Amino acid sequence: MKKNVKISFLEYLGFEESKELNDKWLQTTRMFGIKNSDLKKAMDEMLPKYWKMETPGVKDMLRAYLMELMDLTRVNENNPDSIKSVYGVVPSISTSYYAVRNAAGESAYVGYPYLIISTVFSSVLFMTNPFIGQAENDAGISCGCKHCGLNKTRIGLNCKSVIRNPDVVWSWGHTCDEAPKTDEFIEANCNSNWKYIVTRLPHDTHFGEKDDEIEDRVEYVAASIKDGIAEIGKIIGVNVKDEYIWQAIKQEKNFMKKIDRLNSLVSMVGRADITGNEISLVSQPIHIPFSTGLEHIELALDKMIGHLESICKIEKEGKKRPKVGCYFVPFSVPWVAKMFEDKGVDLFFSTTLSMTDKQMENIEADNPYKQIATDWLKMPLAVNGLNEVDMICQKIRRYKPDAMVFGLFSFDRWQGAHQKLMVNMVEKETGVPHFYIEGDIWDGKNFNSSNLETRIDSLCDFLKMNKIISEIEI
């Protein structure tokens, strides 16, 4: 008998067969309108083209994301009283969510549905995210306006009632302040019972300050996080004790150290079969909590590390392919990394998903809220421009890329400009050639391969020329 495509897809990703899983997956495909033809195309063409499916850890990683998507059925099928839901939005410090998750156990879904949906559509199924279009058609969010695709996805999902509205959304603001604005829009205009909490940074950091070293700021952020956790606990009926927060902090530190190990190993090997797409997708839980927990993605990460360690042991000193670090997250546009790769250049670490030494320091604070606040204020997404420049320089010195690529953030006028201002500063400080590419990592309509091909061609030519020049005897 011919096998059902939906089940074959699970098998292809290495899931162990179970009726419960199959049912969950069928329900997920119905929820999101995923057709057999979409899955067949992903299996036969797109996944083998853009992911190194045979590399240890890669299938495990894709499975972790699919499990996360499937976990949303738990929210939809259950009575709102039996499963509570807390949705998060980037950027944020995921420790806070993990603390709530640890405390709530199975009684709550605590995750990042919008980013997971967006990621699975773009990077696993290679489908156009339909919810962006729905936000444009049903809620009047104009196509050309500078608006993050993720927030459009949130509006689109709400318009179509695809997933159950959360008991509470936890937003964090940031320079763009787009997430809280989106919450306000949904609450005020979409006739939704939309409860949200905003934990904003003080918005008073000065250029060059070390945000985490200013006691007042740390105290303020710690108090805001404490309020946020208490409020969320009240809404979902859970007491988030300190022990759950410490547990989340330890998990996160451990995960960060592993990501650093992964990046260091990739920087050492001559030809890595784990590059920008794999590294960024497996690193994403630094910023977003997984409702299914860290263990599945951590298993993928451990396998990748083990694989690279075994390559390092047998690899002799030899020619290294040029490696390029980036600011954006390659998994959102997997074909970009592939385009580089086909031209003999590998993308690797992303500055937004890699760590400085300071971020990996051991726990120092005497209370967990202060520790989360300090960790949040050490993250590149939460600090002022010059502080971030300094962080990026540290990462460049640590992983030694041949060049850096910035850009693909033109979806947001603030985030886009922020990056543009940093490019020349980092190049001057590190002496590593930097390049900038216009584009939108969330919305393919604003951006496609033909626009990019000449740019990537030229950049790869630059690197080839650099190689020749570096070998000239002076």
Partner 1 sequence: MGRSRLIKDKWQIVETAFTLIEAEGLENLSARKLAKNLGISTMTLYNYVPNMAAIEKEVVLMGFSKLYRRILDEVENRRGELGQNGIRSFCRISAWEKIAFAENYSEIYTLMFDPKRSALKKDLELMPFYNYYNKISMVLKADDKKRESITKSISLFDYIINGIIIERSKERKKNYTEETSELIEYALECLF
Q: What is the DSSP letter of 53?
A: T
Three-state DSSP state, 320? coil
CB-wise, 290 or 435, nearer to partner 1?
Answer: 435
Least distance CB 265 / partner 1 (angstroms): 24
Alpha helices in 284-347 (DSSP H): 295-314, 334-342
Residues counted in the chain: 474
Three-state DSSP state, 324? strand
Query: How far is 199 from 377, CA to CA, in rounded Å?
Result: 13
Least distance CB 449 / partner 1 (angstroms): 9
Least distance CB 474 / partner 1 (angstroms): 4
Name residues contacting partner 1, limited to 209-238 (CB under 8 A). none
CB-wise, 227 or 457, nearer to partner 1?
Answer: 457
Name residues contacting partner 1, limited to 104-143 (CB under 8 A). none
Least distance CB 322 / partner 1 (angstroms): 11
The pair of structure tokens assigned to 253 is: 């530190």
Query: How far is 167 from 85, CA to CA, in rounded Å?
Result: 5
Candidate list 37, 81, 316, 472; residue touching partner 1; CB under 8 A: 472
CB-wise, 43 or 408, nearer to partner 1?
Answer: 408
Strands annotated E in 42-151: 84-88, 108-111
Name residues contacting partner 1, limited to 406-445 (CB under 8 A). 407, 420, 423-424, 431-438
Query: How far is 166 from 20, CA to CA, in rounded Å?
Result: 24
CB-wise, 224 or 430, nearer to partner 1?
Answer: 430
- Among the residue ranges 14-22, 79-87, 219-227, 449-457, the one whose residues contact partner 1 (CB under 8 A): 449-457
Least distance CB 346 / partner 1 (angstroms): 18
Least distance CB 473 / partner 1 (angstroms): 6
Query: How far is 309 from 313, CA to CA, in rounded Å?
Result: 6
Binding-residue pattern over the window 452 to 471 for partner 1, x denoting contact by CB under 8 A: -xxx-xxx-xx-xxx-xxxx
Query: How far is 472 from 258, CA to CA, in rounded Å?
Result: 38
Query: How far is 451 from 437, CA to CA, in rounded Å?
Result: 10
Query: How far is 357 from 69, CA to CA, in rounded Å?
Result: 33
Size of the site for partner 1 (CB under 8 A): 33
Least distance CB 451 / partner 1 (angstroms): 6
CB-wise, 136 or 183, nearer to partner 1?
Answer: 136
Least distance CB 462 / partner 1 (angstroms): 7
In the numeric block, the tokens 């320079």 are attached to: 175
List the beta bridge partners of residue 326: 350, 405
Three-state DSSP state, 417? helix
Distances (CA, A) of 121 to 331, 334, 399: 11, 12, 30
Name residues contacting partner 1, limited to 228-287 (CB under 8 A). none
CB-wise, 120 or 423, nearer to partner 1?
Answer: 423
CB-wise, 261 or 420, nearer to partner 1?
Answer: 420
Any idea what the Cα angle at residue 283 is, between residues 281 and 289, rounded to 5°?
95
Task: Report CA dihedral (406, 408, 412, 415) to the nearest 10 degrees.
Answer: -20
Query: How far is 159 from 139, CA to CA, in rounded Å?
Result: 7
Q: Does 342 sit near partner 1 (CB under 8 A)?
A: no
The pair of structure tokens assigned to 463 is: 């690197």
Least distance CB 323 / partner 1 (angstroms): 14
Q: Does 473 sit near partner 1 (CB under 8 A)?
A: yes
CB-wise, 90 or 403, nearer to partner 1?
Answer: 403
What is the radius of gyration, based on Cα positions, of the chain?
Answer: 22
Check: CB of residue 432 under 8 Å from CB of residue 401: yes
Least distance CB 131 / partner 1 (angstroms): 23
- Among the residue ranges 284-292, 302-310, 356-364, 448-456, the one whose residues contact partner 1 (CB under 8 A): 448-456
Name residues contacting partner 1, limited to 305-324 (CB under 8 A). none
CB-wise, 38 or 136, nearer to partner 1?
Answer: 136
Q: What is the DSSP letter of 200?
A: -
- Among the residue ranges 40-48, 65-73, 209-217, 450-458, the one whose residues contact partner 1 (CB under 8 A): 450-458
Least distance CB 458 / partner 1 (angstroms): 5
CB-wise, 244 or 399, nearer to partner 1?
Answer: 399
Which secondary structure element, helix H or strand E, spans residue 215, and what is its range? helix 215-236
CB-wise, 228 or 439, nearer to partner 1?
Answer: 439
Name residues contacting partner 1, limited to 357-416 (CB under 8 A). 407
Q: In terms of Cα–Cα distance, which of 204, 225, 194 is closest to 98?
A: 225
CB-wise, 37 or 454, nearer to partner 1?
Answer: 454
Three-state DSSP state, 392? helix
Positions in the binding site for partner 1 (CB under 8 A): 407, 420, 423-424, 431-438, 448, 450-451, 453-455, 457-459, 461-462, 464-466, 468-474
